[in-house]
Amino acid sequence: MLDIKFIRENPEAVKENIRKKFQEAKLPLVDEVLALDSENRAAITKASELRSQRNALSKQVGMLMGQAKKDPSKLAEAEEAKAKVKASADWLAALEAKEGELEEKIHRILLQIPNIIDPSVPIGPDDSANVEVERFGEPVVPEFEIPYHTAIMERFDGLDMDAAGRVSGNGFYYLLGDIARLHEAVLAYARDFMIGKGFTYCIPPFMIHGNVVEGVMSQTDMDAMMYKIEGEDLYLIGTSEHSMVGRYIDQILPESSLPQTITSYSPCFRKEKGAHGIEERGVYRIHQFEKQEMIVVCRPEEAMDWYEKMWRYSVELFRSLEIPVRQLECCSGDLADLKVKSCDIEAWSPRQKKYFEVCSCSNLGDAQARRLRIRVKGENGKNYLPHTLNNTVVAPPRMLIAFLENNLQSDGSVKIPAALRPYMGGTEILLPKR
């Protein structure tokens, strides 16, 4: 969310940013919010004048009432002054109500105006214009055929989607045996990997209030993703970033406490509306999954350095599990409204002979901090807004697809890389049941 002062001083820059994000329908919002802002400031000024007048009249009434006790002829003048005080109070109450209405309208529009993107972001209308930056590891296509990921899991008696469908519906699954253990091993390894990078491990609340949801994501994303608890002001989180950044709502952090670097585990719940193709079936796009996340709250001048570190952590982790990956820079039209800059880490799929998304790293500037009223008390005693960043560490079971495909052997077994073996009881090879 942009500061109204910034929009007031830079309306054309804000409009140009909207054009770069291919959201021309939002252009009228800039002039609309500026008109409301002007009206609101006029109401605030008038209210301030009325308060001064009321205070002066109140003192006059007190003086006149005192005089009326000695001189009854002053009583009429005192009553007239009291009537003016009441009229002033009624007018002031109306102005204060108007201020509240205008501020709410301004707030609702500000939530819709996208954040200013970083100058380095490539310009394009959608994800088809995203730009490959760098590859890590050599993508390999083996001579043997690689089955669809659900077929691999079923060979290990590790997946039951039919039973999940009967119990919960489409988009759910049971993981069993070695596949379930592998799932938990990846999460545990990711946890310890991030702790090794100096991050604090955290398990957050899995439900959050509506004002926190509004603070951490755009309305469009909220409607498309979030499950609401009926009859309560609670939502199931779509990622632990939501509750982790929400942890700082209405807080003033000492500058010495920055950066806050946290790695958090949570289940994630998403509506995932719409029809999806064959490559997004199975356990690729589902309503419930688990994830290890990394979140950073830092000084504004440190944000881009953290952005670079965070996506490289994902690359390092995937390469330690012998999975080739690439970094893909997200274009302007593919950025969510709160994001300043974002990139995807995509893993190689030898079955599809292409890469697919497994991590998303984002710098959100001060947008979340402004919405949630998170401040930092600087050394000079002045408060400022920190910047927030987030990135996926791993998100199985999608990550399992990349793991199984890249570590599958010609005999149907799955190799366990050395880094993961301590979390699999020393197992080096998983053997299929059938």
pTM of the model: 0.88
Cα–Cα distance for residue pair 8/401, rounded to 1 Å: 48
Residue type, 315: V
Q: Mind listing the pLDDT tens digit for each residue in 414-424? A: 999 999 999 99
pLDDT range class, residue 275, cuts 50, 70, 90: very low
Superfamily of domain 4-110: Serine-tRNA synthetase, tRNA binding domain (1.10.287.40)
- Annotated active-site positions, please? 270, 285, 357, 360, 398
Q: What is the pLDDT of residue 168?
A: 93
User: For the CA atoms of the chain, what is the radius of gyration?
Assistant: 28
Residue in 424, 185, 419, 215 with CA at minimum distance from that of residue 321 = 419
Tens of pLDDT, residue by residue over 218-237, are 877 777 789 999 999 999 99
CA distance 105 to 12: 21
Domains of the chain, by residue range, sit at: 4-110, 127-430
- Matching CATH number, 127-430, of 3.10.450.50, 3.30.930.10, 3.30.360.10, 3.30.565.10: 3.30.930.10
Identical fold for domains 4-110 and 127-430, yes or no, is: no
Asked if residue 79 has pLDDT above 70, the reply is no
pLDDT bucket at 55, cuts 50 / 70 / 90: low
Show Cβ contacts of residue 390 under 8 Å, excluding neighbours closer than 6 positions.
239, 241, 244, 245, 293, 294, 295, 296, 361, 362, 364
Residues 371 and 15: their CA atoms lie apart, in Å, by 21
